Amino acid sequence: MSKKYKRNNIRSTWKHDDIKIIFSEPEIQASESVVHVKDVNDILFYYYTMKVYRKTNKNWKKELVSFTWNSPALLCIEKMAAELLKDDFEDGSWQMAGYGDSVWYKKSFETDSIVNEDYYQMGRVVTFYRGERLESFFMTVGTGFDSKHDRHTDFMPCISINFLNRDGFLGFVNTVKNFINKSIIFFNITQKENMALESVSRKILRGKMYEYKDRYEGYGCNKLDYVYVPGDEISLTLKEKYEGEDVFVVYRYCRLTGVENSRIGNGYITITGGYKMFRHTTECLENKQIKIPVELIMYSSSKEPKERLTFNKKQCVNDFLSIMSDEEKKEFATTPLDTITEKWFDAVVNRSWLYRKEHTFKHKKKTAKKIIMMLEYK
């Protein structure tokens, strides 16, 4: 039940002499409870690709590629640069040396970690000579990822750039900032689109909550993903307000006790028990009832009853038949099989948990279609 994935064409490029670095394919996973990402502090995981090229005989030759998945160092660049640009040479963070009329200060930061999916070192050298001040910057960019064999390695290919002036250094930093900012904007736009689809994908009808596949296939989709009935154990993610800001709040292991139509909106559900989790707090909901407008549900799932994992075909049919209304039985009996299958296939599969390994059906897709066919004749 994951969100519909939307590919992006975001990329940012930095060039210096014979070196070109391209950042592309960003994807953000926001921190828990975050609806709209404001800055890097709201990002839990940040996936992106970095490619480094060197110009040889008028052609750009690829030197290295980094595919980051877990904890990319790129998010540290802005803070590292801000520290490097501070001019407090007596704060204990600078190396210092002197010779004759010259005194120089050197400071650097690096992003070394256990698994260097991407690696950055940034440094600054400031020299004072007879009252004149000179400065230069240096950088190293690398990766512990072997793109040829699609695995991480114990060595780290990298390229180093020395004697950068301030404009060149800030050009790199601003390229990174621009790349991250564009990816945040794209995430927020996509998040808004997904939430709009989620808000209309659940409907209360015939004493049940129907979940449609709008978030996968667009608004107005007539394909069902799941059917929830009172008595189901469910988990939900809701969009709520906290201090005037949209946030996600998680409800886990709750019992669905009621559903209710409404003239305004798509109806309500009532849950009890389980836990409410928001940021780093957990509240027990035992003996509490919570009424929820279904348009606030951004994610829903049901816990599998263990007995369903061992059902045979006939038991799956009878179990699904037990939640069907007379109108739905008539729909199955009078509608062409292909049309019924297109609409109800995932609902039958997901409620019967057919793709779980506990089921011993050899051909699960064929089994699901057979179950739908058997429901037609009930």
Burial class (CB in 10 A: 0-12, 13-18, 19+), 358: exposed
Q: pLDDT (tens digit, 9 = 90+) per residue, 144-202?
A: 765 554 555 556 789 999 999 999 999 999 999 999 999 999 999 999 999 999 999 99
Structure tokens at 229: 């009935």
pLDDT at 112: 77
**150 vs 98, residue with greater confidence:** 98
Q: What would the mean pLDDT of 313-322 be, rounded to a whole number? A: 95
Closest to 64 measured CA to CA, from 86, 82, 45, 49: 49
Given strand 208-212, what is the order of strands in its sheet?
A: 202-205, 208-212, 224-228
Q: pLDDT (tens digit, 9 = 90+) per residue, 116-152?
A: 789 999 999 999 998 899 999 999 999 876 555 455 5
What is the CA 123 to chain-centroid distance, rounded?
32
What span, in angstroms and rounded, lies between the C-alpha atoms of 167 and 135?
Answer: 11
Averaged confidence pLDDT in the chain: 91
For residue 123, how many other CB atoms are within 10 A of its CB?
A: 20
The residues near 93 (Cβ < 8 Å, ≥ 6 apart) are 83, 107
| Long-range contacts of residues 307-311, Cβ cutoff 8 Å, at least 24 apart | 308/352, 308/353, 309/353, 309/356, 309/358, 309/359, 310/358, 310/359, 311/352, 311/359
Structure tokens at 280: 């780093």
Helices (H) and strands (E) in the chain, counts: 7, 21
pLDDT at 140: 95
Q: What would the mean pLDDT of 41-53 be, rounded to a whole number? A: 94
pLDDT at 115: 66
Q: What would the mean pLDDT of 305-312 be, rounded to a whole number? A: 91
Rg (CA), the chain: 28
Structure tokens at 63: 């030197």
| Long-range contacts of residues 328-336, Cβ cutoff 8 Å, at least 24 apart | 328/206, 329/378, 332/372, 332/375, 332/376, 332/378, 333/376, 333/377
Q: How far are the Cα atoms of 3, 171, 218, 279, 375 from residue 192, in angstroms, in the given order? A: 12, 32, 14, 21, 38
Q: pLDDT (tens digit, 9 = 90+) per residue, 30-40?
A: 998 999 999 99
- Length of the chain in residues, anyone? 378
Residue 186, H or E segment: helix 166-200
Structure tokens at 14: 């930095």
Global model pTM greater than 0.85: yes
| pLDDT bucket at 261, cuts 50 / 70 / 90 | very high
Closest to 36 measured CA to CA, from 243, 239, 216: 239
pLDDT at 3 over 70: no
pLDDT at 108: 96
What span, in angstroms and rounded, lies between the C-alpha atoms of 276 and 251?
Answer: 5
| pLDDT bucket at 218, cuts 50 / 70 / 90 | confident
Q: Give the percent of the chain with pLDDT over 90.
A: 79
pLDDT at 114: 59
Residue 211, H or E segment: strand 208-212
Structure tokens at 337: 């099989």
What span, in angstroms and rounded, lies between the C-alpha atoms of 15 and 22?
Answer: 9
- Position 303, amino acid: K
Which residue intervals of 34-165 are DSSP H helices? 77-84
Q: What would the mean pLDDT of 70-85 be, rounded to a whole number? A: 91
